Amino acid sequence: MSKSFYITTAIDYINGEPHLGHAYEKVIADIIARARRSMGVEVFFLTGVDEHGQKVQQAAIAAGKTAQAYCDELAAVYKSLASRLRLTIDDFVRTTEPRHKQAVQAILTKLHAEGFFYKSNYEGFYSARAETFLTEKDRLPDGTFPPHYGEVVRLVEENYYFRLKDQQQWLIDYIEKNPGFIQPDYRRNEVLGFLRNNTLEDLCSTRPASRLNWGIPVPFDRDFVTWVWFDALVNYISVPAAHGDPGVTSALGLAPSPDSAPSLWPADLHVIGKDILKFHAVYWPIMLKAMGLPLPKQILVHGWWQKEGEKLSKSTGNVVDPIAVIDEWGLDAFRFYVVRELAIGPDGNWTDAGFRSRYDSELANGLGNLVNRSLSMLKRYRNGIIPKRSDELSAEAARIVAETRALLEQNQLQAALLSIWTLVTHANQYVDRTAPFRLAKDPAQSQRLDEVLYNLAEVGRILAVLLWPFIPGTAERIYKQLGLAESLENFSQTSWGGLTPGHAIGEPAALFPRKDAAPS
């Protein structure tokens, strides 16, 4: 089978309820997946949850549950968020699933047999929050460890180490030769800077089962479980292996694949947040090389959200609950705001006032008003029947379609949305300039009115196709109001002239009802 465009997100730790950061990342990945599919590409989109490790185990203990029962409950919450967000995922991985454990153990066995691991004593600092060991170099100038590591404890223990030393130079060369490997560029430079200025230490890849038993047993030594990051990164290939991807199953020595198995690996895109870049851009490529597998084509790194200028934090209550926002404002308002407000890369700041203002001005007054007045006038003046074709706005639409396509191909979602919005704005100006409500009063202007109404309906149709990856529910409603049923999910439908004269549209209705009360 031909290779699919394989896109993944980070898999979330389920030590609490999902928050804005989790939902944001999944939405941008979904928009990319939908946009590619709309452009005719076969896509496989994977997300899931990261269930092992101390953090999750501690959360389970705090909740008075067994780790498995706790994970089963939380995994269901994350899965239901995926469907509330309307993620077009092809699979949802849980790292406690047998199919995943089997792949992790196969990798450990293979790498151990090839001499990639050795056992050694460690004495030093450990952060449970980051699930990682720290060194003196991680201390701040005042001697403390950065607050995002949480409580840091001293540990002495024996573990298996994965050989990272001597792997530095090929990785530097690779990143230098492949400028697209890590995006945006400033994240790539950050990784290069780290690799050029530090010596990689071998990676502690196990934890003693006596201290932490919530992990995948190490197949060659049952006194240990797999370090949660070694386990988690493997999800990107354990799922292809489970689907029978021949490249992965043969590299890992797993059962041979049926002929119909999809070819997924290497991933085309790993979408991740900035805090987990080192794991994806340093450890993961070295692990893959050791397994004899190719590297992912691109790591796309997004920034972090704050709310009202402060860090998101459960303890201070400074949180955005994506489900509550969706319940109040609708899914598309959420999907629109996060992409419109923040490009993929820098950090962002959610403000309730900004959310409301974009809802009112861009969704309700911009897109909603355009579609609603266009279709209402078509209903009122032409009985809802599409008039003779006119191409007045066709060149403008074609320009924006081409621009949007190019931006989507580069995963520039915010810029693509801005490009689409210039069409919304121009079409609204076109209504004001041509004043169809005045034309309707003058029988001599009947032909002109036909032209204007055709152009507006056709722009509405094209906007629906362009916007489908971003705000699918709204795009579907526009299509329905236009009396159309098919091909919304196909970018080629953006060519001018899709509406046939004589076609009867459906019922116009407000796309974004105005909210008078302040958000609670």
Q: Which residues bind ligand MSP (CB under 6 A)?
A: 10-13, 21-22, 24-25, 50, 232-233, 235, 272-273, 275-276, 304-305, 312
Closest distance of CB 18 from ligand MSP, Å: 8
Nearer to ligand MSP, 87 or 464 (CB): 87
* Runs of H (alpha helix) within 383-468: 394-409, 413-434, 436-439, 446-467
501: phi then psi, degrees, rounded to nearest 5: -55, 140
Closest distance of CB 334 from ligand MSP, Å: 14
Nearer to ligand MSP, 10 or 74 (CB): 10
Residue corresponding to tokens 């400028």? 179
How many angstroms separate the CA atoms of 233 and 59, rounded? 21
Closest distance of CB 404 from ligand MSP, Å: 25
Nearer to ligand MSP, 237 or 459 (CB): 237
How many angstroms separate the CA atoms of 16 and 29, rounded? 22
**CB neighbour list of residue 258: distance below 8 Å, 6 or more residues apart:** 244
Nearer to ligand MSP, 133 or 496 (CB): 133
Using CB atoms, what's the residue nearest to ligand MSP?
273
How many angstroms separate the CA atoms of 66 and 57, rounded? 8
Closest distance of CB 50 from ligand MSP, Å: 3
Nearer to ligand MSP, 129 or 405 (CB): 129
Closest distance of CB 15 from ligand MSP, Å: 8
Closest distance of CB 276 from ligand MSP, Å: 5
HEC-encoded secondary structure of 474-497: HHHHHHHHCCCCCCCCCHHHHCCC
CB-CB neighbours of 194 under 10 Å: 14
Closest distance of CB 257 from ligand MSP, Å: 24
Nearer to ligand MSP, 11 or 33 (CB): 11
How many angstroms separate the CA atoms of 207 and 215, rounded? 9
Nearer to ligand MSP, 21 or 345 (CB): 21
**CB neighbour list of residue 206: distance below 8 Å, 6 or more residues apart:** 159, 160, 218, 221, 224, 225, 226, 227
Nearer to ligand MSP, 50 or 450 (CB): 50
Closest distance of CB 1 from ligand MSP, Å: 25
Nearer to ligand MSP, 348 or 368 (CB): 348
How many angstroms separate the CA atoms of 95 and 334, rounded? 28
How many angstroms separate the CA atoms of 353 and 286, rounded? 45
Amino acid at 66: T
How many angstroms separate the CA atoms of 436 and 449, rounded? 6
Nearer to ligand MSP, 22 or 243 (CB): 22
Q: Which residues of 74-110 are buried (b: 16+ CB within 10 A; e: fewer)?
A: bbeebbebbebbbbbbbbbbbbbbeebbbbbbbbbeb
Closest distance of CB 91 from ligand MSP, Å: 15
Nearer to ligand MSP, 38 or 47 (CB): 47
How many angstroms separate the CA atoms of 5 and 13, rounded? 25
DSSP-derived pairing of the beta strands 206-208 and 152-162:
unpaired
Nearer to ligand MSP, 11 or 218 (CB): 11
Helices 322-329 and 331-341, packing angle to 10 deg: 120
Q: How many residues does the chain have?
A: 520
**CB neighbour list of residue 498: distance below 8 Å, 6 or more residues apart:** 458, 461, 462
Nearer to ligand MSP, 36 or 52 (CB): 52
The DSSP secondary structure of 347-366, one letter per residue, reads -EEE-HHHHHHHIIIIIIII
Closest distance of CB 312 from ligand MSP, Å: 5
Q: Are 67 and 56 a contacting pair, CB within 8 Å?
A: yes
Closest distance of CB 307 from ligand MSP, Å: 9
Closest distance of CB 22 from ligand MSP, Å: 5
Closest distance of CB 48 from ligand MSP, Å: 9
Class of residue 451 by CB neighbours under 10 A (exposed 0-12, middle 13-18, buried 19+): buried
